[in-house]
Structure 1
Amino acid sequence: MSKGVDFVLRPFEGLPGETDLVALREVVPAATATARTTAELGARDVVLATVLPMAWPALHRGDGAVMVGLQQNAGSGDASRDLAVALLAALDAPVGTPVQHLGPIEPGPRLQDVLDLDAPFEVTVHEGFDFWTAAGVELTQDMRDSLDRMNESVVPTARLAAAPSAYWARMGDKEFLRWALPHDEDAFLDALARLHARRESGLGPQGRDGRYVGAFRSCGIVVPVWDLAPGTEPEMVEEPLAELAARLEGSLAVTEPLDATQRRARAGLVARQLTLR
């Protein structure tokens, strides 16, 4: 951790699309999101990408737009500060050149300070990493070879419409739902425990369309995971996800303490938690 930069448990709090930012850092292989710098920084278009060529932290594109790679960990203890350093470096870089390395991260502005918080934040999930070339990035042969390898290994992923920051993914012969949620973790676990005790924590009747298997935490956000029925396509998840989202919201509104059965269910859910960072 860089000296002088305070650790921030929930670094993207206050940003539009906080839960999507976490999802793009952790569970989505190939995606981009739109952003814009503040007027003080020229109201410049920014493309937040999961990964850039050669794992560059950022790129000042030939058309003047700035791209920032989300799936990086500069290790300062504040991911928002790390990404702001990359963005500011790209703004200072000559047009058409990448930011290949970041120096030591020191205290300074964060994404919340350099991005226009009222600008549209729109996520696009891509089938592969060809958006690199679509963005006007000129690739060397080594970079093209890397692009081909990454495209071959990319996990098919789709952003679902029934709930914010919910993503379907096919990994090998299995499909999963991974859903980044903004709720306080304890409140979420209490709400899910109430559903779990009633056998309503899965997708579809009796969970036949998807079984809750656990959750992980990253950047202060909890991301629960459901193991979907074999062969489930993204469109097949929409209706059961909408129903689950409604059940979860209803359970979150309950203020009474958990009963004995619900407490046992919660203990089982907690045992499945994992913190990434």
Structure 2
Amino acid sequence: MGKRSRAKARDHASAAPAGVAPRQPCPCGSGRRYKACHGAPGGGASAFVSRPFAGLPSECDVVAMRELVPAASAPLTLRDSDRSVLLCSLLPGAAPAMVRESGAIWLGLQVQHQFGDPARDLAAVLVKALDADAGVVGLTDPPGEGPRLQDLVVGDGLEVTVHDGFGFWLADVAEQTPALEAALEQANAAATPTTRLHGVGAAYWTDMGAKEHLRWVMPEPEQDLLDALSRLHAAGRDRLVPGSRLVGMFRAHGLLAPVWDLAPGTGADALQGPAEEFAKTLQEALADGSPLTQDERAARSGLANRQLTIR
């Protein structure tokens, strides 16, 4: 490799998002290494947005619906239109959007394409759907310049409904087709029972069969949240209910989602009060600006090593 090529490669490597090495998977979700995707010359590194849903109503719930929750929906209020729009975790065939028979637009979060900024992708799909009469709407190429979803919607928060399965796909369908019924059966087979806790943000209980989990997407900056959780972990104050254990966390779209293992049979109802108390305790730990003790630093190292980056 010539000197100019090496210099160019170094320039792109230095532009990597924080914590992403050249040989690690690209955060855009393409499945390729960063150096061969958004980190490559001409690979669109500037298109990647590390926290794409910041500024959206209920950012944490949007992240949970995209990455953790199988079947959920929430109405969106458009800034310049009274058109009915429903944000959905997953649509049939992982469709980016569907214009329903009623004229309502259903917008999907769990999709196949990854162009670096999911909020920009969602806005591009929504704009196309607003001009479509019916059917599936999607993207085949990067959307280019234009609004992001934050520019198109208003509101302080989303009213999230978690569904038992994907039967809501058929709620306004007059005639069910074999293809739609097959897609529904396949999706329901993969859906795990999930419940959203109330009053504590984007905290979702789920039953995975052998174990139950609580997965809680939190809005605080990663380093601050790690410090606070480390303080509580070192003090033995991170257990929600008997038999629960903070086992690690997901990192998705610039946010952390701590994960607790729960004893089988715990259920969502038993978590409601303890989760509310833990939220208060966590805020106290977040407000503690003192240096971490040796035990707290050890706890932090352990928690940091048990992170899984989804996006």
Task: State the TM-score, normalized to the length of structure 1.
Answer: 0.92
Whole-angstrom distance in 1 between the partners of 2:263 and 2:251: 24
Partner residue in 2 for 1:107: 145
Matched, 1:192 2:229: yes
Please state whether the residue corresponding to 1:188 is helix, strand or coil.
helix
Specify the code of the residue in structure 2 equivalent to 1:9: S
Unaligned runs of 5+ in 2: 1-37
Q: For residues 126-160 of structure 1, give each alpha carbon's deviation from its aligned partner in whole angstroms, at most 9, with x where no partner exists.
A: 00001111033754212211211221331000001
Answering whether residue 168 of structure 2 is matched by residue 131 of structure 1, we say yes
Q: 2:30 is matched with which residue?
A: none
Match of 1:49 in 2: 88
State how far apart, in whole Å, the 2-side matches of 1:246 and 1:87 are.
Answer: 38
- Does the residue aligned with 1:21 lie in a helix, a strand or coil? helix
The residue correspondences of 1:1-277 to structure 2 (distance < 5 A) are: 3=44, 6-39=47-80, 42-94=81-133, 96-115=134-153, 117-118=154-155, 121-136=158-173, 138-204=175-241, 208-277=242-311
Cα deviation for residue 238 of structure 1 reads: 0.8
Q: CA deviation at 1:196?
A: 0.8
**Higher alpha-carbon Rg:** 2
Contact 2:94 2:112 in 1 (8 A): no
Measured on the aligned residues, the alpha-carbon RMSD in Å equals 1.7
Between stretches 224-233 and 175-184, larger displacement belongs to 224-233
CA contact (8 A) 1:15 1:112 kept: yes
Q: CA deviation at 1:43?
A: 2.9
TM-aligned CA deviation for residue 100 of structure 1: 4.8
Q: Which has the higher contact order (CA 8 A, sep 6+)?
A: 1
Moved more, 65-74 or 165-174: 65-74
Of 20-29 and 259-268, deviating more is 259-268
Q: What is the Cα deviation at residue 30 of structure 1?
A: 0.4
Amino acid at match of 2:294: A
Question: 2:12 maps to what in 1?
Answer: none
What is the CA distance between 1:76 and its match in structure 2? 1.4
Paired residue secondary structure (1:222) = strand
Q: Which amino acid aligns with 2:64?
A: A
* Matched positions, count: 270
Name the TM-score, length of structure 2 as normaliser.
0.82
Identity across matched positions, percent: 46
Q: CA deviation at 1:45?
A: 2.0
Contact 2:231 2:292 in 1 (8 A): yes
- CA-to-aligned-CA distance 1:1-34 (integer Å, 9 cap, x gap): 6758621100010111100000000110001011
CA distance in 1, matches of 2:118, 2:199: 28
